[in-house]
């Protein structure tokens, strides 16, 4: 296939390596296809819906390897709303297809996470030539061992836990560090282990508050007067895990606690009598420059995506399999979440060194 025009967009939450990954795609295409034109689609799928795209220059992709965020901008366009017309009655899917054809694009490159891949697969099924790259700090995208952005975010979350250690030890306090991750706990698990957390609570392993209290009290009896608890945003107690989605939503709406960390803090204060403090790194985990691991990974994924485009091999996501980069059909990726298995090696090994998961 004679590839001349490629559109590229970044969708969903930002992360540190979006620019590095775009650079990998662009440099590979510029180096291998004479006369290639790359069009930057602004603010994710929103730009494709409303035809907001610009022709990029080769120089636009220089000097962005170390730059966080995304030079194209991004937005969240929920997949469940893609088939719902906008406020002016515009059919979003039809508009994306029309703008793809109007701009004479030969391929659409999507850098995104779970929701973005659902839409990418939909467009692929609608006949568009689509190639995707796996982006998310949560590392929860099905079909790939690793996503770009994950390791950089883990580094920042680990740094937050590292910084808490000294003040926790100085004051003999319990510190709760709330790490990003609503549905999966890959980031909290990695940062918790790397930061030397004593307790790690993740969505996939519902916790018993009595077990968490027991772990903290055990440390105190051992003359270890402080404890570090790494908690994923979506961590859930065993009691709450038995509730239906509606019941859980209703309970959280009526709760005075902003998040699970504050509920935990109150329970630990009452049970142990120790001072409890909460630290929420929040969106700092998405910010700053990508680390060296992500720069290498993003460059490799970008080059692999460009190779798929040059070979006319569409409807695929470039994925990490062990130490290799492979192509995975979008149909196998879309709509699937990669959860932390409660009995996976990393969890079992963390338990071997004495980390409590509250189960």
* DSSP conformation letters of 49-69: HTT-EEEPPGGGGTT-TT--S
Please give the average per-residue pLDDT across 76-103, as a whole number.
93
The whole-number average pLDDT for the span 283-290 is: 93
Inter-residue contact 186 to 150 (CB < 8 Å): yes
pLDDT digits (tens, 9 = 90+) for 136-173: 999 999 999 999 999 999 999 999 999 998 888 888 88
Q: Is the pLDDT of residue 243 over 90?
A: no
The model's pTM is 0.94
Average pLDDT over residues 42-65: 96
Give the per-residue pLDDT at 4.
94
Residue 252 pLDDT class (50, 70, 90 cuts): confident
Q: Within a 10 A sphere around the Cβ of 350, how many other Cβ atoms? A: 18
Handedness of CA 58, 30, 75, 299 (dihedral sign): negative
Rounded to whole angstroms, the Cα distance separating 70 from 52 reads 16
Tell me the percentage of the chain whose pLDDT exceeds 70.
Answer: 100
* Whole-number pLDDT of residue 199: 98
| Residues 230 and 192 sit within 8 Å (Cβ to Cβ) | yes
pLDDT at 143: 96
What is the rounded average pLDDT of the residues 60-71?
Answer: 96
Count CB-CB contacts under 10 A for residue 238: 15
Q: What is the CA radius of gyration of the chain?
A: 22
Q: Which helix (H) or strand (E) holds 293?
A: helix 292-311
Residue 256: its pLDDT value, please?
78
Nearest to 264 by CA among 186, 301, 211, 195: 211
List domains and CATH numbers for the chain. 5-149+290-333 (3.40.50.450), 152-286 (3.40.50.460)
Give 258-264's long-range contacts (Cβ < 8 A, gap of 24+).
Answer: 259/178, 259/233, 260/178, 260/201, 260/231, 260/233, 260/234, 260/235, 260/236, 261/176, 261/178, 261/231, 264/176, 264/201, 264/209, 264/212, 264/229, 264/231
Question: If pLDDT is split at 50, 70 and 90, which confidence band does 20 have?
Answer: very high
pLDDT at 169: 84
Strand order in the sheet with 227-232: 199-201, 227-232, 174-179, 276-279
Quickly state the pLDDT bin for 225 (edges 50, 70, 90).
confident
Catalytic residues: 138
pLDDT of residue 217: 94
The per-residue pLDDT for 289 is 95
Pick from 134, 141, 156, 180: nearest CA to 298:
134
Residue 275 has pLDDT above 80, yes or no: yes
Q: Does the pLDDT value for residue 1 go beyond 80?
A: no
- 301 closest CA partner among 327, 263, 264: 327
String of DSSP letters for 117-161: HHHHHHHHHTT--EEEEEB-TT--BTT-S--BTHHHHHHHHHHHH
The pLDDT-based confidence of 249 (bands split at 50, 70, 90) is confident
Report the C-alpha gap between 125 and 97 in whole angstroms: 11
């Amino acid at each position: 296939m004679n590839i001349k025009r490629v559109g590229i967009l970044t969708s969903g939450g930002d992360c540190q390596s979006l620019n590095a990954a775009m650079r990998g795609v662009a440099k590979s295409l510029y180096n291998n296809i004479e006369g290639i034109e790359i069009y930057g689609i602004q603010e994710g799928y929103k730009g494709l819906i409303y035809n907001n795209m610009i022709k990029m220059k080769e120089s636009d992709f220089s000097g962005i390897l170390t730059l966080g965020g995304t030079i194209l901008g991004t937005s969240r366009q929920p997949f469940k709303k893609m088939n719902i017309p906008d406020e002016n009655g515009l059919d979003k899917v039809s508009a994306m297809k029309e703008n793809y054809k109007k701009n004479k694009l030969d391929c659409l490159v999507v850098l995104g996470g779970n929701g973005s891949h659902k839409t990418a697969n939909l467009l692929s099924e609608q006949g568009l030539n689509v190639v995707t790259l796996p982006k998310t700090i949560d590392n929860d995208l099905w079909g790939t061992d690793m996503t770009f952005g994950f390791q950089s975010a883990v580094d920042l979350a680990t740094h937050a836990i590292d910084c808490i250690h000294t003040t926790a030890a100085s004051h003999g306090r319990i510190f709760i560090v709330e790490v990003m991750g609503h549905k999966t706990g890959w980031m909290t698990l990695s940062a918790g282990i790397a930061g030397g957390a004593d307790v790690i609570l993740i969505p996939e392993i519902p916790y018993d508050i009595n077990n968490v209290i027991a772990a903290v009290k055990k440390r105190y009896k051992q003359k270890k007067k402080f404890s570090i608890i790494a908690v994923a945003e979506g961590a859930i107690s065993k009691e709450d895990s038995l509730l239906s989605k509606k019941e859980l939503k209703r309970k959280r709406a009526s709760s005075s606690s902003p998040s699970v960390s504050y509920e935990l803090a109150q329970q630990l204060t009452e049970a142990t009598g120790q001072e409890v403090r909460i630290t929420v790194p929040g969106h700092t985990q998405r910010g700053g420059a990508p680390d060296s691991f992500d720069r290498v990974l993003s460059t490799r994924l970008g080059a692999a995506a460009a190779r798929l485009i040059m070979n006319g091999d569409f409807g695929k996501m470039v994925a990490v399999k062990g130490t290799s980069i492979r192509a995975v059909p979008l149909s196998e990726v879309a709509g699937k979440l990669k959860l932390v298995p409660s009995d996976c090696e990393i969890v079992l090994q963390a338990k071997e060194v004495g980390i409590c998961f509250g189960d």
